[in-house]
Amino acid sequence: MNLYARELADTLVVEVGEDRIDAACAIQFKDAMRELAGRAGTRVLIDMSRVRFLDSSGLGAVVAVMKLLGPDRRLELAGLTPAVDKVFRLTRMDSVFLIHPDLPAGLREAG
């Protein structure tokens, strides 16, 4: 599972470098995020702009990461592709997560 992380102020930005989060890699995703989140500030933002497919196992892994962070730390998502966005809307998880259309300007990697 390719995840690329960088810290900016109180935010850990994690870019998913895979085109799928599904049953085949959901556990790897969750484990890798657990390791990365251990060093995070109060906010974790996952850039999912490369993810083209997310199944129920992948969705469960994202929810598990949110639970891992606990009530004092936020998990936000950015850059959902149309198919992934549809999964979040159909399951009503779009009301649980703060979802940005793309990575907020202050969190984009400089040039």
Tell me if 75 is assigned to some domain.
yes
Calculate the average pLDDT of the chain. Answer: 91
Tell me if 37 is assigned to some domain.
yes
pTM of the model: 0.90
Number of domains in the chain: 1
Q: pLDDT digits over 60-101, tens only?
A: 999 999 999 988 899 999 999 999 999 999 999 999 999 999
Q: Which domain holds residue 37?
A: 6-103
Question: CA angle, corner 84, sides to 57 and 5, nearest 5?
Answer: 80
pLDDT over 90, % of the chain: 75
